[in-house]
Structure formats: structure tokens, C-alpha cells
């Protein structure tokens, strides 16, 4: 018999402003403990030394995680020019150096090659699986392996500061699966000067902004108290990029039981993915067909 999960039935999103020096999973575990929640997960890993938005889903909100994972995300990061590291960030060992330093115009010109749909090879120190093994584990064991390039949509990549000849600060908006460290590595290679990330912050992720993020100190301070619940955002925030349909009373009841239910539609077409609400609360996500939503995910609220 499977073990029953213990904890509170708490549902919603907590936007955490993750500090450097802690893993994303450690943040999720701390949030789950602080709320006493049965279930928690996050929408997009940040490297341990990265800061910024880590959106943590609790309870039924975990069913909306894929929609935040797929959403656009924005990063502000600083690249150190003249050095390549084995991890493509400052945590790794320097493996090559260059005395070449491009000027601002050369950097700006190179950025154009990193926008639109690009092919990106993830860093070897990443969680990508190679024949069932995490790439970072193989890299730590000095195994020889290759990671296949994968497509990434980069909406924009701009230079926002040049602190000195050795550093450039960039802002990027991209789709799912982007590695900022790989952008820094490949930009340095394109410029002929090498490069790696020395500072990285995710400024927003889908509907969630770093400015609205809760600190780990506040989570510790309010842990196990009702006051922490005041910082929860509704489950429905995770569905912002999908059209909302209003379910009828009977339709909502059918949807809750996993059956197609009647909805009132306006701007959706046959075959579109959408979510249905009843009295302001999410009921299900599914495919709209001829006046009904055919559910793929049902929310048990």
C-alpha cells in the first residue's frame, strides 16, 4: 500500500526571490516545510549561485507548473571576457584564456546571432541526461561525452552595461530550456575572446516578477504561521497564458469528475487548449470542442 502524504491541503504559488548559494530543490523543500504542505514543486531550475524568481507551486497548483515552465523568462547576467571555465560559470576551473577584448560595437553586433531560434548545446555541467545519467555526474567523473544541440527561442538579447573591458552585462528574454551559461560561452567563442557567467539573476518568469518575490529570511520568520499564507498567489496565476472559459454549473460538476463539460466560449477555436472556471475558481484544463471542454487536468480544490 502506498504511503499517504502528510501535511496541509494548501494550494497556490509562492514567488521566491532565491538568494545565491542554495539549490532550487532546497528552496522548494524549505517552502513545503514552512507551509506544512503535502506537495510542492518549482517551475524552472536556477543554478545554486543564481538569484531571482523561483516560482514554487503548492498542492493543486503543481498541475499548472508546465505552463510556467513553457512561458518566457527574463535574465540579467554579467559575462567575464577573456576566460573559459569547465562549468561556463565562475564556480568552475579556468580551462583557457585570451588577451583579446572586443569593443562595445563588436559585442552589440555579435548579439544579433543569438536572437530568434538558435541551436544551443547545454553546458556539460548541467542536468541534461546522457544515456540515463546526468551530464554533471559524467563531467565530474571526467567521462568523455557529447550533448546534442537543441533549439531555443531567444526573444531578445541586449547589452545594458559595460562595467570595464573584462565584463559585459546583458539582458535576455527567452523560451523554455535556455542555458544562460551556454549563451555566455558561445558569445565569448563568437567574439574570439572566450567568456563565462559571473553573475546571474532571473528577473521575471511568466507572470511572476522578482520584485514581488518573498525572501528566504521572511519564509523562515513566518514558517508554520497563518501570516505566510498571505503571500500565496492563486493557482489560477499559473494559467495566465491560456484562455479562460466559464463553465456552467452542470459543466463544472462533470469536469470535476473527469468528463467533458459545457462551457461558455468567446475567443477560442475548436481544438484550442484552455481552462475552465466556475465562480472564479479553476476547475480543469483541457481541449475545447464544440461548446465543451475535454479535460486533461482536473483541479481537486
- Reported as a pLDDT band with limits 50, 70 and 90, residue 243 is very high
| pLDDT surpasses 80 at 176 | yes
CA–CA dist 293, 286 (Å, integer): 6
Confidence of residue 7 (pLDDT cuts 50, 70, 90): confident
Of the listed 17, 47, 89, 237, which one is catalytic?
A: 47
The answer to whether residue 3 scores a pLDDT higher than 60 is no
Residue 1 reports pLDDT greater than 60 = no
Q: Binning pLDDT at 50, 70 and 90, where does residue 133 land? A: confident
Quick one: how far is CA 260 from the chain centroid?
31
- Is residue 266 over pLDDT 80? no
> Which has the closest alpha carbon to 53: 77, 28, 73, 30?
73
C-alpha cell at 281: 475558481
What is the per-residue pLDDT for 51?
Answer: 98
How confident is the model over 16-51, as pLDDT tens digits?
999 999 999 999 999 999 999 999 999 988 999 999
pLDDT per position as a tens digit, 188-230:
999 999 999 999 999 999 999 999 999 999 999 999 999 999 9
pLDDT tens across 274-300, in order?
A: 999 999 999 999 999 999 999 999 999
Poorest-pLDDT segment among 62-76, 86-100, 134-148: 134-148
Could you count the other beta carbons within 10 Å of the beta carbon of residue 93? 8
What gap in Å lies between CA 250 and CA 242, rounded to an integer? 22
Confidence band of 73 (pLDDT split at 50, 70, 90): very high
Looking at the predicted structure, is the pLDDT value of residue 88 above 70?
Answer: yes
Q: Which of 116, 182, 119 is nearest to 150 (CA)?
A: 119
Q: What pTM was computed for the model? A: 0.92
Q: For the chain, give the mean pLDDT.
A: 94
Tell me phi and psi for residue 70, to 5 degrees: -80, -15
Nearest-10 Cα torsion for 24, 274, 207, 158: 90
> What's the rounded mean pLDDT across residues 172-190?
96
Mean per-residue pLDDT, 153-159: 98
pLDDT of residue 144: 85
Q: 76 falls in which pLDDT band (50, 70, 90)?
A: very high
pLDDT at 2 over 60: no
Distance between CA atoms of residues 291 and 264, nearest Å: 7
pLDDT over threshold 60, residue 254: yes
CA distance 154 to 169: 17
217 is catalytic: no
pLDDT confidence of residue 129: 85
75, 172 in Cβ contact below 8 A? Answer: yes
Residue 131: per-residue pLDDT: 81
Q: What is the DSSP string of the chain?
A: -PPPPPSB---EEEEEEEPTTS-HHHHHHHHHHHHTBS-EEESS---TT-EEEEEEEEGGGGGGHHHHHTS-EEEEEEEEETEEETTSBTTS-EEEE------HHHHHHHHGGGSEEEEEPPPSSSS-EETTEEHHHHHHTT-------EEEEEEEEEEEEEEETTEEEEEEEE-TT--HHHHHHHHHHHHTS-EEEEEEEEEEETTEEGGGPBPHHHHHHHTTSGGGGGGPBPGGGGGTTS-EEEEPHHHHHHHHTTS-EEEE-SS--TT-EEEEEETTEEEEEEEEETTEEEEEEE---
Mean pLDDT value of segment 230-256: 96
Amino acid at each position: 500500500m502506498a504511503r499517504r502524504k502528510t501535511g496541509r491541503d494548501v494550494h497556490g504559488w509562492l514567488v521566491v526571490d532565491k538568494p545565491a548559494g542554495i539549490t532550487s530543490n532546497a528552496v522548494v523543500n524549505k517552502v513545503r516545510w514552512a507551509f506544512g504542505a503535502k506537495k510542492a514543486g518549482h517551475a524552472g531550475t536556477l543554478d545554486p549561485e543564481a538569484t531571482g524568481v523561483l516560482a514554487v507551486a503548492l498542492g493543486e497548483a503543481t498541475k499548472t507548473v508546465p505552463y510556467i515552465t513553457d512561458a518566457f523568462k527574463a535574465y540579467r547576467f554579467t559575462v567575464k571576457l577573456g576566460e573559459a571555465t569547465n562549468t561556463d560559470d565562475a564556480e568552475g576551473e579556468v580551462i583557457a584564456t585570451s588577451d583579446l577584448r572586443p569593443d562595445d560595437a563588436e559585442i552589440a553586433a555579435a548579439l544579433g546571432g543569438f536572437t530568434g531560434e538558435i541551436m544551443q548545446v547545454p553546458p556539460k555541467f548541467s542536468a541534461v541526461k546522457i544515456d540515463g545519467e546526468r551530464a554533471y555526474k559524467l563531467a565530474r567523473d571526467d567521462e568523455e561525452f557529447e550533448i546534442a544541440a537543441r533549439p531555443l527561442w531567444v526573444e531578445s538579447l541586449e547589452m545594458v552595461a559595460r562595467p570595464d573591458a573584462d565584463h559585459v552585462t546583458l539582458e535576455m528574454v527567452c523560451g523554455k530550456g535556455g542555458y544562460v551559461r551556454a549563451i555566455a560561452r558561445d558569445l565569448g567563442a563568437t567574439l574570439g575572446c572566450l567568456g563565462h557567467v559571473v553573475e546571474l539573476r532571473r528577473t521575471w518568469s511568466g507572470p511572476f516578477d522578482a520584485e514581488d518575490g518573498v525572501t528566504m529570511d521572511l519564509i523562515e520568520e513566518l514558517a508554520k504561521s497563518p501570516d505566510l499564507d498571505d503571500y500565496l498567489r492563486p493557482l489560477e496565476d499559473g494559467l495566465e497564458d491560456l484562455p479562460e472559459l466559464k463553465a456552467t454549473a452542470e459543466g463544472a460538476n462533470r469536469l470535476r469528475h473527469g468528463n467533458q463539460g459545457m462551457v461558455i466560449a468567446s475567443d477560442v477555436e475548436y481544438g484550442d487548449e484552455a481552462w475552465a472556471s466556475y465562480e472564479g475558481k479553476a476547475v480543469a484544463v483541457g481541449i475545447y470542442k464544440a461548446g465543451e471542454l475535454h479535460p486533461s487536468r482536473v483541479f481537486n480544490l
